[in-house]
Amino acid sequence: MFPATNRRHFLKSSLKAGALVGLGDFGFLRNLSPVSADEARPVHKKVQLSSDIEPLVRLIEGTQRERLLTAIVNEMHHGVGYQQLLTALFLAGVRGIQPRPVGFKFHAVLVVNSAHLASLAMPDQERWLPLFWALDNFKSSQEQNRREGNWFMTDVSESKLPPSTQAKSRFIQAMDNWDEEGADQAIVSLVRSAGAGEIIELFWRYGARDFRDIGHKAIYAANSWRTLQAIGLRHAEPIMRSLAYAMLEYKGSNPARGDAEEDRPWRENIGRARRMRADWQQGKSSPEATADLLRGLRKAGASEASEMIVQISSGGTGPSPIWDALFLRAGELLMQQPGIIGIHCVTSVNALHFAYQASAVDETRRMLLLQAAAFLALFHKRMAGSKLNQELQVDNLPKEDATSKGADAVAELLNDISKDRLTAARKTIGLIEAGAIDQEALMTAARRLVFSKGDNAHDYKFSSAALEDFYNTNAPWRARYLATSMFNLRGSGDKDNHLIEQARVVLAKV
């Protein structure tokens, strides 16, 4: 499955030495053209993409980092459009960056959808900037991938593909057994014979199946599917192969034969999902139910958190206020411990909620809701080993008035982020609850700061997730949810990144 292509120099064999040890004289071969060791090795060809996009992908892959932006701008002047560039960037990452671990260098792929969402939310003339950043980020990941073995995705072995009638069952069997080769063969056959909706339903489950890579498997499932909607389903085969390979990442013994903490919630939640009432998607919605669940989640382990969802649902509460509590808890954990783990509390819940919205299978939707609660408890457990300010609670955070109004209030808030994030959070609550600020203007300004100040993939991933879930949270809680995002958004006083100046120079020359 996806063999690495490390180029190693083989020691040369000596025919003369062979003769000395009794292997005979092979001098009769001297008139034949020599075959190098590399030529004699099995050939693993890099997977070929659609012919119309392959040249642009190769340009991205083969151009030096410092020259790529100039090359891309030249292509734009010759007719390359936004969708073509988005497609080529994503496929270059899928083909050329190993999705293991699901994170780290693989953020070159994970961030593409987030950059795309940021682009969609901005004025036309600014929509190129996130892709420019993502292209530069790809080159950084490509270099790391080269240092770590130069992995790339290879062509499939057509003769080993299962028949289409067996593709789905073989894929499920391989995934359940954590069988990489079997899963790769089956997913190719499945992509070629099944509908896209049927395939992604399987990945909603496997993306949420385990907590390895702190939620990145769920994030990749959601982001790959969302990107496919933008670039076209005809590109699905390499993407689904990469996704299947990522889902099967683990260390140590085969998870199918163990009981690791990362796998336990899923296995337990299968039984819990069956106990949920038949009409669980209907029910009352109230801020009080959200507040009660939020308080319970603060103290619950993974099993207890999932069980709380079953109990509150059995009491007649619908899923909407439950998701409110999960969004708020994710933001609260970030607020209590800003940093990489807190960021993924937010982005993981965003991905699980997207899968919940996209899934058409009732059992899968139940499992995603239960797994979101379990994931947050596992995040909390991981964060508890270092400083965690549990006194900061999103529902008890006092609001604070800003000294400015209107557009000036937006500027004041973004400036506060760079100086005092807690003050910025309190002012966010005060301004939004008083209706004293244009919410869209604030989010547009926040995205612009990511463009100009952001220097890592999490700036894009987090901002896209948090600003999206502002609207997925019910109105009574939106101000407080957005307040938690102030603990990771960029502030106006932060240092500019190098991309803006580079883009300015390149565009002036081309």
Helix, strand, coil tally for the chain in percent (to 5): 70, 0, 30
pLDDT > 70? residue 20: no
Res 303: pLDDT:
98
Res 123: pLDDT:
83
Average pLDDT in the 424-453 region?
95
pLDDT, tens digit (0-9, with 9 covering 90-100), for 469-478: 999 999 999 9
> Domain coordinates of the chain in residue numbers?
54-147, 158-252, 264-383, 406-485
Cβ 335 vs Cβ 394: under 8 Å: yes
Alpha helix segments (H runs only) across 337-456: 340-358, 362-383, 406-419, 421-433, 439-453
Res 27: pLDDT:
46
pLDDT > 50? residue 462: yes
| Alpha carbon distances (Å) from 154 to 148, 184, 196, 388, 424 | 17, 11, 22, 44, 49
How far, in Å, CA of 177 to CA of 250, rounded? 12
Average pLDDT in the 59-88 region?
95
Res 385: pLDDT:
86
CA 313 from centre of chain: 29
How far, in Å, CA of 356 to CA of 366, rounded? 8
Q: How confident is the model at residue 489 (pLDDT cuts 50, 70, 90)?
A: very high
Cβ 131 vs Cβ 119: under 8 Å: yes
- pTM attached to this predicted model: 0.91
Res 6: pLDDT:
39
Whether residue 101 has a cis bond before it, omega within 30° of 0: yes
Q: How confident is the model at residue 505 (pLDDT cuts 50, 70, 90)?
A: confident
pLDDT more than 90, % of the chain: 86
pLDDT, tens digit (0-9, with 9 covering 90-100), for 69-82: 999 999 998 999 99
pLDDT, tens digit (0-9, with 9 covering 90-100), for 249-290: 999 999 999 999 999 999 999 999 999 999 999 999 999 999
pLDDT > 50? residue 102: yes
Res 502: pLDDT:
83
Cβ 446 vs Cβ 414: under 8 Å: yes
Res 44: pLDDT:
59
pLDDT > 60? residue 39: no
pLDDT, tens digit (0-9, with 9 covering 90-100), for 295-339: 999 999 999 999 999 999 999 999 999 999 999 999 999 999 999
pLDDT, tens digit (0-9, with 9 covering 90-100), for 166-188: 999 999 999 999 999 999 999 99
Res 510: pLDDT:
61
How far, in Å, CA of 269 to CA of 275, rounded? 10
Mean pLDDT of the chain: 91
| Alpha carbon distances (Å) from 395 to 104, 288, 324, 401, 437 | 33, 11, 12, 17, 21
